[in-house]
Chains A and B, each alone.
Chain A
Amino acid sequence: MRPAGLKPPPKHAPRRLHSEADLRTLQRLMMHAIVQPLTADDDLAPRWRDGRPMAEVASEFIKPNDRLTSFERLQIYARGYWYRVIDCAYDDCPGLRALLGEEKFSALIRAYLAKYPSRSFTLRNLCARLPQFIREAPRWTAPHTALAHAVARFEWAQTVAFDGEARPVLTPDDIADVPPAKLRLALQPYLSLLALDWPVDDYVLAVKKRDALRGEASHAVDHGLRAASRRTASRPRRRRVFIVVHRYNLQLYYKRVDAVAFKILTALAAGRPLAQAVAAAGRGVKPAPVRDWFATWMELGWFCRWK
């Protein structure tokens, strides 16, 4: 499998570098060697794509020294790459890790990054395509693929809420003169609307609490604490929930909303004018709660000008 976005590797390394094209060829070859998955022992794969020994390929472009072969020198970089990106995914996905267990999570992340290596200058975006990959390759998360997908979406929404763009907040005065039939309200770019079949917000909070306790327990001698830290957060039971992942005063929050409120927010996010968005929520919607919801949402700064 060729990593998404990378052009095929050259058959051989250039013997001399006379041009930019030669430099690109050498770099593309080394890049392919580094991002190909490691073996189960975290070694560089012994064979190259064309069946040649990897040691032979490495020796084409990397000098050995009296302590390390070309293969071993290349392996330092391959391990460095994989350990770095796996560490990053571990930090970004504590819920998914707890759900799948260390071994399965590691296999998932390695498979994900083998297909979708980083396409961004920042590691912040490393797990952006993880929910998509979980759908595409369910075998890594079976039999809990749907739940894993929900947790991955929720965890990516947290990254977005942490440092996503905040546009100027709309005030009541900004919209006072616009009739509801024409008023479009955009949601803040850092905000995510998630309709999920599991209460993953509670689950991820429980995992974080457990991990925090585990951190404390590592400095403690209290056996009760140690025992508590070994308990895993139990898998959530299926239940439809509507969550808004957002930030307020620079802190991350997960706010549960009513199904009707969620419909309104989704319609607004899709660009429907206010009157249509409220109508889309159904005939039974009563004005009083809708007024309260909007008051809260305005206060939380969720709305900005529609572009």
Chain B
Amino acid sequence: MTKENAYAIVQAARSAGKVTGLEIINQLFDNFFELHGDRNGTDDPAIIGGLATYHGRPVTVITTDRGTTVGQRIAKHFGSPAPGGYRKALRLIEEAAKFHRPVIALVNTAGAYPGQSAEEQGQGAAIAQNLLKISQAQTPIITLIYGEGGSGGALALACGDEVWMLEKSTYSVLSPEGFASILWKDSSRAPEAATVMKMTPQALLEQGIIEGIVEEPTDHDQTIQNIDLVLEKRLAELVQLSSEELLKRRHARYEKF
């Protein structure tokens, strides 16, 4: 893959015209009933989650959200969840596990919110708890990255059984700008970094980081239909597994790295 088209994917992943998590929820899921709050002092608007039915099956669905108005975007830190957002997601996943309800997580975030308040509320600790607890959650968890998969902030919602990506999405340890500035002290070399980092869906699939890629035409409806085909099939297979088999498979998934 040439550096031009790796960076073109980075730009496409960040584009304002991307399909949003709420669009996917509204079109693919019925009776979405939002559940707010981390039960610990905050309700981070950058994470939206709740109960819904998917092809008649009850599921818990969680998405990152960047907002549409200026006010929303500021409140949502442009889609970068605060520690309370990860705590909310975790409590919803644990509740889903109690009732053996599958979880579908939709991720598009530049990364976890890096502000002072996030540090004080334990951003690192919040992500760590997700990784720890989700590894043991006894229900199928499928993640779709539908834009940027920014580092630990994305991993905290992508550490379940399978991770799928839209064609024009990325998943990386750091932004290419950050990577270039740390290693080469020159953030303008981001396009080059994008290639070196192997952060495109195809490169990630080759490394065994993700299970597959969902075709993404410019038409949102068509994209959502493609997502539906994959999700329905994968979910139907995962719900057949016993809790033991599921967790064994999940641990093996991460052991190989």
A pairs with B: no
